[in-house]
Amino acid sequence: MTIEILYPELCNLYGDLSNIEYLARSTQAEVISTSLKETPRFPTQDVALVYMGTTTERGQELVRDAFAPHLEALRRRTDAGGVTLVTGNAMEIFGEYIELDGGERLPMLGFLPIHSTRRLLKRYNSLYLGQFGDLKIVGYKSQFGHSWGDVGEGLFTTLRGAGLNPDVKPEGVRIRNFMATYLIGPLTVLNPLFAKELLRLMGVTDPKLLFEEEAMDAYRARLEEYSDPKRHFTY
């Protein structure tokens, strides 16, 4: 099984790459790192998961330009049910545009029916509690903007914290097995049940995780903490 990380030299903020480290070490998957000036492998090779993590604002533009020639390949992959995971502000790269502080619109890839804002003086920080099917999801948000658009049910349904923006419940976007979320950092490590679901989608039968017991222990503790109505959610 192969996992491809797109542009890890740029899309690596907030411990995001631990998502793949955890999945790969749990399954002995081969990890291919594709840099900005290389051609992605997923259009021509059997890749179980394509991953892109959080990046800088300049990184968003560099990645947009580098990935644009491969957008059609991503559409084909998504139509065929291929699994892709995009975390943090990398989701915005796949939207229609980012509205900057001065109102200027920065065109993005247009793959997702969303547009985003970037407010560099107003960083949004919060905890997150949501639902993915029957699974509860815990996580973190730390971002310079939000997104808007008709994303149906999104990737997660928000129970506490902000969805795609603070006024809506759907969080992230899901098109078949293309999954994008604003949640940052070690999402799969914090959510072992979600990690296993992801592995199932990638074709792993009866997945087992590295240090599963300890990961579940930490997950249960966090879930209890975040479910406490007295717990504040924003920084």
Partner 1 sequence: MGTKEKPRGFTRVRFMLALWAAKLSVPVLKLTRHNGTNFPGELAMKICPDFLRYVARPGKIITVTGTDGKTSVVNLLCDMLDNAGQKVLSNRLGSNVNSGVATSLITGCTVFNRARFPLAVLEVDERSSGKIYPWVMPDLTVITNLFRDSIMRNGHPEYIAGVLTDNMPPETKLLLNGDDLICAGVAPSNDRSYFGLERMATDGTACLNRINDLRICPHCAGKLRYEFVRYHHIGRAMCLDCGFRSPDCDYSGGDVDTAAMTMTVRDAGGEGTYRLLSDSVFNIYNELTAIAVFRELGYDHPAILKLMDGLKIAESRYRADRAGQVEVVMHLAKDRNALACSRVFDYVASCPGEKELILMMNNLNDDKNWSENTCWLYDCDFEFLNTPSVTHIIVTGPRAKDYRLRLLMAGVPAERIDCVREELMSVDKLRLVPDSHIYILYGTDTMNLKLAAQVREAAIRKAEEAVK
Interacting span for partner 1 (CB under 8 A) from 39-47, 53-61, 72-80, 147-155? 53-61
Under the criterion CB under 8 A, does residue 230 sit at the interface with partner 1?
no
Least separation in angstroms between CB 115 and partner 1: 21
Residue whose structure tokens are 């985003």 = 116
Task: Please identify, using beta-carbon distances, which residue of 36 and 159 lies nearer to partner 1.
Answer: 36
Interacting span for partner 1 (CB under 8 A) from 13-21, 77-85, 148-156, 194-202? 13-21
Task: Please identify, using beta-carbon distances, which residue of 180 and 209 lies nearer to partner 1.
Answer: 209
Q: Which of 32, 36, 106, 223 binds partner 1 (CB under 8 A)?
A: 36
Tokens of 196: 């296993």
By CB under 8 A, the count of residues binding partner 1 is 44
Strands (E), 36-188: 49-52, 83-87, 97-99, 105-107, 115-117, 124-132, 135-143, 147-148, 156-160, 170-171, 173-175, 178-181
Least separation in angstroms between CB 23 and partner 1: 12
CB contact set of 55 (below 8 Å; sequence gap of 6+): 7, 10, 11, 12, 13, 63, 88, 89, 90, 93
Interacting span for partner 1 (CB under 8 A) from 20-28, 77-85, 169-177, 200-208? 20-28
Q: Tell me how far apart the alpha carbons of residues 199 and 28 are, in angstroms, rounded to a whole number.
A: 12
